[in-house]
Chain A
Amino acid sequence: MTRTDQPAATGADRERKRGGAGMAAGPKPGRAALGWLASNEAGLLMITLLFVLLFSQLTAGFTSLFNLYALTRVLAIDAVIGFSMMVVLVTGGLNLAAGAIGVCGAMAAGWFMQALGLPVWLALPLALCVGALLGALNGALTVWMDVHSFVVTLATMSIFFGTMILLTEARAFSDLPPGYVALAKTRYGFWSGLLVVTAIVGVLLWLLFHRTTLGRQILIAGANPRAAAMSGVPAGLTVIVCHALSGGLAALAGLMLTSRNGAALPSMAGQLGMDWLLPAFLAPILGGTLLTGGTVSVAGTFLGAALVTVLTNGLLQLQVGEFWIQAFLGAILLIAVALDRLRAVWIERRRVR
């Protein structure tokens, strides 16, 4: 979509991302350190810590146990939503239907557990499969119709969500097994137990992209589908795999949110699931995953989600006047991405010198 967007920046960007992804072992240690500092992950970590410091000084409530617990729980879910978008961004595509698939997965799980009486250990994997299947459908349509996944998922967002509404008549499943609902209430110190799920998913995703052939093929195909196809990488297949993975991750986020809400709700991601779009895109993009495809940063996506969650929570604590919070959040995000960009360019220049 935006391959021709900023070609001049893109090449340098990609180099920078590669360097940041833990492969920055340059000839001199000083350079390696600079390389790490130039990475998105480092920038995000610093900005996030800065805001944590700021909010903990300015507000009494920010560092309270309850708040940190609530914050990390939101973070756990939003990071998985971000992962769900990230794995499609890698292919140079988008998944506008992530929210719709998440809701479909959650409602499927609710139906399995409440209406069919399936045990949790069976219902949850099945629901993930539903999500993966819907995602695979997105991928297959994208490849088969040869249109940008933006267009395909714009339509399937409506189709998936519409089917869900038609089947459920917007009725929630609120009689879920207590063990499943209790999952979202687990707590270690001030960390929400859901972060464990997110961490496991993150590690698996990292292994996929950095340690497997499939992962390498996805990255190559995402960077340049034509070249990849010529060198024997099944580009079409990687697109379908990524969309299926995205669907599965969206469903997982839906299941985590369902556990947190104590019920499978048609409304949990808003009309057409569009309430998820902001967290879905912000986390990976702040984290350095490029819209043009071919790059991925699992840690960056997590840190991106962390920054957004901290900002949202902190602004609420600051009581800046709720009606203005959305405007503040947007402005700070804009400044954050712009600053991050300037910082990277600056360090890039010094490193070249």
Chain B
Amino acid sequence: MKRILTAAALLAGAGAAAPLAAQDTRVGVVPGGPHPYFAAWEDAAKDATAQLDLVAEYHVPAAWDLSQQNAMIESLVGQGFNAIAVFPGDASGTNATMSELKDFGIPSVAIGGCLQAPTPAEFCLGTDVYQSAYLGTKELIEAMGGSGNIVHLTGFLVDPNTSLRIDAVQKAADEVDGVEVIQVIADIDAPEPADEKINAFLAARGAEADGMISTAWVPSVVAATALRNLGDKRIRMVAIDHDQVVLDAIRDGFVDGTMLQNPYGQAYIGAYALDLVRGGCTVKPDAPFDTTAQTDMFIDSGTAFVDASAVDTYQDTMIAVTDEIMDGFKDTYMDCPE
């Protein structure tokens, strides 16, 4: 089977079985779907193309849907892309496509979020969703003065990462006496239900709540707006990601901080690493990878809690993190032929 597929790959001109340094690396950078989080990936792909000896292009599936992402990746392979950096449409489900790509001699890395091990992806460069939610909750508890009631706002339950986030917030709360997660509000990735449910919570139980932790993009934006509308600075809040509304709310004191990720670095370093792999490098088995709930081949692309003091300089922080990972990347994680 594998032989046939490899032959097919040759016929299709889709990429050679053994990586050839002579052939230009063409990296497809594929997000899960249209989403503001990934805007920085496009810049990163352009910069990587300009600065490194490779071609990286950012290609967005038409909708946030695993099948559409698979179709996008398959069509990229048809177009001659020979390396894929992907935000997994599904932590388990994207493995099948990646393993097919591997059969075709096309390496892949998971960026942004991880693939569930065992995985054919070379490694995962991203945010540990569990750790990020855990640390965010810790920051929230600190802002709350060490005790109180927390409400957790999160995204689609159908996303396996949501369960991880719920567990992580619960764990962080369990570790501190006097802290309790009094409610989890989920499935609020669409803005209108988010507005309805978050405000209903604030109306009914706002007085009981001392802190809000949001682990999804839309709830972060909507909750920050809700607190601003109410003029409520008593309820502490920690959000996720870098929507302008959230950053403004941090500046104005309605939100304590946000768990920032490093999307630019993910795409830039991902493209760089794929070029190394295509150049004949292999991932060092004994490299200092971290272990997460999903994989033991994890590289932290940088997660930072950003509060009012750092909100205007966070981009520099992330560039510094990116540079730091880039600097030692080849020696730390790769075995390369001379």
Judge if A265 is at the interface, Cβ distance under 8 Å.
yes
A265 touches B92 (CB 8 A): yes
Q: Compute how far the CA of A244 lies from the CA of B265 in the bound complex, rounded to whole angstroms.
A: 50
Q: Which residues of chain A are near B99, meaning CB under 8 Å?
A: 262
Smallest Cβ-Cβ distance to A74: which chain B residue: B71
Asked whether A185 and B100 contact (CB < 8 A) given A66-B77, A313-B71, the answer is yes
Q: Is residue A263 contacting chain B, with contact meaning CB distance below 8 A? A: yes
Which stretch (B143-151, B157-165, B281-289, B324-332) binds chain A?
B157-165
Q: Nearest Cβ distance between residue B189 and chain A, in whole angstroms?
A: 8
Q: Which A residues touch B66, using CB under 8 A?
A: 261, 265, 267-268
Question: Which of A's residues lie within 8 Å of B, judged by CB?
Answer: 59-62, 64-67, 69-70, 74, 165, 169-172, 174, 181-182, 184-185, 187, 257, 260-263, 265-268, 270-271, 275, 312-313, 316-317, 319, 322-323, 325-326, 329
- Whether the Cβ atoms of B162 and A170 lie closer than 8 Å is yes
Q: Which of B12, B156, B158 has its CB near the most chain A CB atoms (within 10 A)?
A: B158
Give the residues in chain A near B13, CB-CB below 8 Å.
Answer: 64
Q: Smallest CB–CB gap between B61 and chain A, Å?
A: 7
Asked whether B256 is an interface residue with its Cβ less than 8 Å from the other chain, the reply is: no
> Which chain A residue shows the least CB distance to B94?
A261
Contact A317 B158 (CB under 8 A): no
Cross-chain pairs A/B with CB under 8 angstroms, 9 sampled: A61-B75, A66-B77, A70-B75, A261-B90, A265-B90, A268-B66, A322-B60, A325-B62, A326-B63
Between A and B, how many residue pairs show CB distances below 8 Å? 132
A70 to B14 Cα, complex, angstroms = 13
Beyond A265-B66, A267-B89, 18 additional pairs, beta carbon < 8 A: A64-B78, A66-B74, A66-B78, A67-B75, A70-B71, A74-B71, A170-B157, A170-B162, A174-B116, A181-B96, A260-B96, A261-B92, A262-B95, A265-B90, A275-B65, A313-B75, A322-B61, A329-B62
Are the C-beta atoms of A266 and B1 separated by less than 8 Å?
no
Q: How far is the CA of A316 from the CA of B158 in the complex (A)?
A: 27
Chain B residues 62 to 83 lying within 8 A of chain A, measured CB to CB, are 62-67, 71-72, 74-75, 77-80
- Report the Cα distance A316→B72, complex, angstroms: 7
Closest to A325 in B: B62
Interface presence of B4 (CB below 8 A): yes
